[in-house]
Amino acid sequence: MKIKYLLYSLLAPFVTILLLVFSCTPKNKNVKATAFQEVKVSKNGHYFQAANGSPFFWLADTGWLAFKKLDREALNTYFEDRKNKGFNVIQIMTMHSEEMVNIYGDSAVVNNDVSKPLVTEGSRFENPDEYDFWDHVDYALDLAEDKNLFLALVPIWGTSVKAGKVNLEQAKAYATFLGDRFKSRENIIWLNGGDTPGEENKAIWNAIGNILHAKNPEWLITFHPFGRTDSSDHYHHEQWLDFNMFQSGHRRYDQETTGRMYAQDNYKFVNVDFNLKPTKPTLDGEPSYEGIPQGLHDTLQPLWNSDDVRRYAYWSVFAGGAGFTYGHNAVMQMFSPGDKPAYGNKKAWTDAINDPGGKQVHHVKDLILSFDYFNRIPDQTLVVNQGEKYQYMAATRGNDYALIYTYTGRKMIIQMGKIEGAEVKASWFNPRNGESTSIGTFHNNGTLNFDPPGDPKDGNDWVLVLQTKL
């Protein structure tokens, strides 16, 4: 009896504490299974970092219509797959239009008026079958946070604003609602705009940006612009804009007839943004989707494939991009058999999530994060024979490493002496499978030729990795 009493006396305080903890734990949402790290702009202004100071490489997937077309089970399937493939951000339209209705038949707003969100008062998380539209969004945010995913949300797609269906006062009321409802959320990034010209309706976009920024200054906010344009064109100096995003778009070189004429050279957007003041991160938020027609609208054109996805990723990241957004024609529209397809898509999203491009893009993140991240800069002086269009080679380096990407596998002429050390170790990195093959050790001076494996052709892409020999 004395032993039992002694054990009880020792354990009682701990049992009491545990009972208090469990009795105070909410039964519905915001129960964190993992230690989620908020993300902010890095100290040098060019990249992102987690709250603990570790590098954060933005690797996003485009799931525009997830809130509209996926139920709770499908959301879990989609988020789990993307987490397992190395993605850490999902880009989604909060409202595709003012007429937004989700898969459960719940409308987002009353009578297509964005200033009047349709909300059932009180928490309904204990009865999921009675979720309203905004409860479904909350559910998605909880689910994503449990999987360490950020949701990059477009408040309202630009089409509605461009069509005059959202005025300034409505936009202010809607942004205030979003800011108040989600102000404590740590895994939201806002994509203001939504495939819309930045010079149009600036008062509305600035109002949305300013209100969201005021509601939670810790949120990262950018502007998702129209094809072949950049958020920096019109919003770089706005206080609410934390980083730049450009849409390099879906057209080939020969299909480009207006604008900057950058065509597929998405690294040129980064070249501009990297040198702007104040310094802000930048990235390609919508390059050519895997499985979408070249030029977008003519479904008889060839489809962009995984080779093109890799080219856009390495070109933009090596130019100084803070990350990259992947997209797939079927996944971005969450196409299921029986749906009306856009852009000629015929593949179910549940199959498309396993297409090669979506499996390969994490290799660029893994490669970049394997080196000293924050001192990385673009440096084209490494490449003597840079080339144009598909022959272009992109180069980036830190103090003790250099990375040079070729899309076609043609011979590289490299200017040595750009990184530390009398000698360097060289290897080939394969962007298709993430494997590395040693080449040897070389003197770090003059110029050297490096010939990638295989015959030169589009899609025979390689990264030359040079590291200071210790």
- If asked whether residues 241 and 288 sit together in one domain, one would say yes
C-alpha to C-alpha distance for 136 and 94, rounded to whole angstroms: 11
Amino acid present at 265: D
For residue 401, what are the contacts with CB-CB under 8 A and spacing of at least 6? 371, 372, 419, 465, 466, 467, 468
| Residue carrying structure tokens 């272009």 | 392
Q: What tokens appear for 262 in the block?
A: 């950058």
Is there a domain that residue 202 lies in?
yes
Confidence (pLDDT) at 15: 34
Q: Looking at 344, 369, 394, which one is the last position of a domain?
A: 369
Q: What tokens appear for 353 in the block?
A: 């999530």
Confidence (pLDDT) at 35: 61
Please list the helix, strand and coil fractions of the chain in percent, rounded to the nearest 5, in that order.
30, 25, 45
Is there a domain that residue 355 lies in?
yes
* pTM of structure: 0.92
Amino acid present at 30: N
Q: Number of C-alpha atoms within 13 angstroms, CB side, residue 165?
A: 14
How would you class 9 by CB atoms within 10 Å of its CB: exposed for 0-12, middle for 13-18, buried for 19 or more?
exposed
427 C-beta neighbours (distance < 10 Å), count: 15
Confidence (pLDDT) at 131: 85
Structural domain for 316, as ranges = 39-369
Confidence (pLDDT) at 389: 97
- If asked whether residues 124 and 179 sit together in one domain, one would say yes
Confidence (pLDDT) at 123: 55
User: Is the Cβ–Cβ distance between 171 and 204 less than 8 Å?
Assistant: yes
C-alpha to C-alpha distance for 158 and 191, rounded to whole angstroms: 11
User: Is the Cβ–Cβ distance between 192 and 164 less than 8 Å?
Assistant: no
DSSP 130: G
Among 327, 326, 291, 333, CA closest to 70: 333
32 C-beta neighbours (distance < 10 Å), count: 10
Confidence (pLDDT) at 121: 77
How would you class 359 by CB atoms within 10 Å of its CB: exposed for 0-12, middle for 13-18, buried for 19 or more?
middle
C-alpha to C-alpha distance for 70 and 313, rounded to whole angstroms: 28
Q: Strand ranges (DSSP E) for 181-249?
A: 188-196, 220-225, 229-230, 244-247
- If asked whether residues 364 and 384 sit together in one domain, one would say no
- If asked whether residues 173 and 243 sit together in one domain, one would say yes
User: Is the Cβ–Cβ distance between 427 and 437 less than 8 Å?
Assistant: yes
Q: Residue 258: which CATH number?
A: 3.20.20.80
Confidence (pLDDT) at 130: 77
- C-alpha pair distances (Å), 231 with each of 126, 228, 285, 325: 41, 10, 10, 15
The number of folded domains in the chain is 2
- If asked whether residues 393 and 316 sit together in one domain, one would say no
Burial letters 71-94, b for 16+ CB under 10 A, else e:
eeebbbebbebbbebbbbbbbbbb
- If asked whether residues 355 and 406 sit together in one domain, one would say no
Is there a domain that residue 15 lies in?
no
**Residue 343, phi-psi category: left (phi > 0), alpha (psi -120 to 50), beta (remainder):** left
- If asked whether residues 353 and 388 sit together in one domain, one would say no
Low-confidence ranges of the chain (pLDDT < 50): 1-34
- If asked whether residues 362 and 389 sit together in one domain, one would say no
Q: What tokens appear for 54 in the block?
A: 């570790």
DSSP 208: H
Is there a domain that residue 13 lies in?
no
C-alpha to C-alpha distance for 12 and 18, rounded to whole angstroms: 10
Q: Residue 416: which CATH number?
A: 2.60.40
C-alpha to C-alpha distance for 220 and 192, rounded to whole angstroms: 11
Is there a domain that residue 304 lies in?
yes
Confidence (pLDDT) at 27: 31
